[in-house]
Each structure stands twice: as C-alpha cells, then as structure tokens.
Amino acid sequence: MKQKTISIMAATLAFGLITSCNSNSSKETKTDTTAVSKVSTVDTGSSLIPDKKNFETTIDGKQTDLYVLKNHNGMEAAFTNYGGRIVSLVVPDKNGKMTDVVVGFNSVEGYEKSTEPYYGGTIGRYGNRIAKGKFTLDGKQYQLSINNGVNTLHGGKKGFQDVVWNANKLNDSTIQFTYLSKDGEEGFPGNLNVKVTYSLTGDNSLKCEYEATTDKTTVVNLTNHAYFNLNGEGSGTILNHTVQIYADKYNPIDSGWIPLGPIATVKGTPFDFTTPTTIGARINDNQQLKNGKGYDHNFVLNGTKVDGLNHAATVTGDKSGIVMNVYTQEPGLQFYSGNFMASKNTFGDGSKDDYRTAFAMETQHFPDSPNEPSYPSTVLKPGQVYKTYSLYNFSTIK
C-alpha cells in the first residue's frame, strides 16, 4: 500500500536538499545520474513507492515489473512496463513533506482490473478521439475499433496503455520503453516502432520524450495520461486547485467529445484560464461544460515560450503549495477534470477514485485531426521520424 506521508524529521531533512526552481527558470533537460550517491543517507520518500513484488507478473506472455527513478534532489518516480505507466511521482510540498502527486494503484493487478484504463498510461497510437473511428489516407479509408460511443478513443479497445512494453532503465533517472505496434493493430496502418523515454531532470522536471517511425503512411498522436492531485492521493477534490492555461482558443465539442465547428475564443467563457482560476469556479456554467461533463477539451496553445517550448499550463495545489508547470513542443493541451471518476476503484493509499479527485493535462495534437485538414497534421510517412517532448516541472509557492 502506498503511504502518503513520511515523518516530519525525515521530510525536513529531504527538503533541505531540494533545489526547486520557479516557473521562469531555465528548463534543465539533462538527466541526473548521481542519484544514488547523493540520497543514500536520506529518506527521500521511498515509502511512497509501491512494493516492486506487486508488479512482477506475466501478461500476454511478457514479464511486467516496477522501475524506480531518482534525481539528486530526492524526487522519485515509479513506472511499470504494463502500459508504460507512471505509477508514482514523489515531490516535496511547501513544507518539505514528500507527496505523491500521481494517483494510481499499488499493483499491476490494480491497473488490469481498473474500470478506468488510462491511469498513468502512455497513450497511442492516437491520443484523444477520432470521429466514428474513420479517416482516409492516400485515398484509402481506414476503420478503427470503436470504444467510446461511436468513436475511437486513445487508440481503440486495446491501446498502448494495455500492452506490455520492453523496458530499459538507462540510468538512475531514465527509463526507456519500446513497442512495435503492428500493421493493422486496432485498425491503424503501418508497423509503428515506438520509443518513449521518461527521465527526471536536475530541476525537478519529469521529461517525456516520444519517438516513432513507420513503414506505411499512418497517423500518430502520443501522450501520457497521468492523473494528478497536487495535494496528494486521497486528499480530496481538485476543484480548489488553481489553473492557468496559456491558450486564447479551444475546441468546442459535441456530446460525443468530437470537435464541433471552428476553433473558438476562450474570452468571456468558463474556458478562459489566461489568468489563474480555480478548477471549480465555473465548471457548471455553459453548454460546452454540459457536453464534456466538465472540462474535457483541447486548448489551442498561444505560443507563450519558455526556452523554446510552449508554456502550456501552471497548476497549483491549494493545500500543498506544489506548483506544476507544463511545457511542450505540442500545439494543444487536453485539460480533463476527472469527470468520470466514480468511486469504483481503490487507489494505493486505500482511498477511492472519487469524482473529480484528480485531473489530467495531456500534451497533444488536436482531437480528430485526421478528419480536419485545417488542424496541425498528425500524418507520419515512411522515412519520417515522429519526435516530440514535454516537461512537467515541479516547484512550490514562494
């Protein structure tokens, strides 16, 4: 079972080693290979990481496991190759208490049996929705598996979150997952070789790097679906988290979450997060929020840059004071407010996945792009390399 606290004495000692950065600091991307020697005498939150034995099993004839990363500040992350999932992400709060800001389960069985399949998962071959599971490439129409009403969501019935990836822990702070998505898998064309690298950087960022090649023209939109609660797992609602999204426009959707009409301005709507606003302040205010059952929309990033990356969002935990800044090479950000969490699953700390007790910030291209020529293209051709990365940087309020 994942515990959510450590002793004040140990937390204070760990916090003394933290070198946090503010949202305007340079985005350090070099992975940290000095973790073991720097933290060997400090309790850095290992009690928050699930037992490795709970992840050692066989699925689809392949071995699953748990992998733990560290940086020299005491930040830790746990991953499983079942779904290329983030299981835990441990950072200090404003008082130095180590806090797991990613909700999830303490065993691979928990992820297998969850009624919500996406917790922490690497998402593909196409993140978000494709209308009616159909698109046309080079004059040929493709029909994907349907798994979300009449549409395809996050790659189909068995997306990348449900497969066992090959794992290679490159060093103390870096894990690399690879997977071959075969031609025709879930209806997608082409043998797609995928490589996803997760690393902890020296400035307390989680770096997510995505790469893919294909032998036949296809569509690709990779992301990660971590569910965050910056106050910690089991801490209650996320409606009092403060959010700023660097987007002046968003995609209105129909009742099936498919983009509806032209891209719209956020000004004068509950989608205006251009200044910091709590998630719950306006969550029931208009027809779009009724269509999405809350926030479940793509925001069109306005190009606010930090060290060459789009600054996508800043989120602050109201209790913990933990600040998460999201930076990306992607043009869009799907903000999801946990609208379908329904107390059906038990997290690692024993709490239920209650309604709106976690949120997601998925960096991405836009939903249904294969059917919308005006959107940034998600087409990948033989000889091309799909390559993109995003950063989730953690600091605390000053």
Angle at 279 between CA 209 and CA 29, to 5 degrees: 20
Q: Does 72 qualify as catalytic in the annotation?
A: no
Under the banding of pLDDT at 50, 70 and 90, the label for residue 284 is confident
138-193: pLDDT as tens digits: 999 999 999 999 999 999 999 999 999 999 999 999 999 999 999 999 999 999 99
Token match 């059917």: residue?
371
Q: Are strands 152-153 and 166-171 parallel, antiparallel or unpaired?
A: unpaired
| pLDDT at 46 (0 to 100) | 53
Q: Which of 186, 209, 330, 362 is catalytic?
A: 362
**Which has the higher per-residue pLDDT, 142 or 39?**
142
Q: Which of 72, 154, 185, 225 is catalytic?
A: 225
Cβ atoms of 130 and 144 closer than 8 Å: yes
Report the C-alpha gap between 91 and 395 in whole angstroms. 8
Least confident of 10-14, 123-127, 147-151, 233-237: 10-14
Angle at 362 between CA 356 and CA 367, to 5 degrees: 105
Longest Cα–Cα distance of the chain, Å, equals 65
Answer positive or negative: Cα dihedral of 113, 116, 120, 121.
positive
Q: What is the DSSP letter of 43?
A: -
With a cut of 70, say whether residue 324 has pLDDT above it: yes
Q: Does 56 qualify as catalytic in the annotation?
A: no
What's the mean pLDDT when you consider all of the chain? Answer: 90
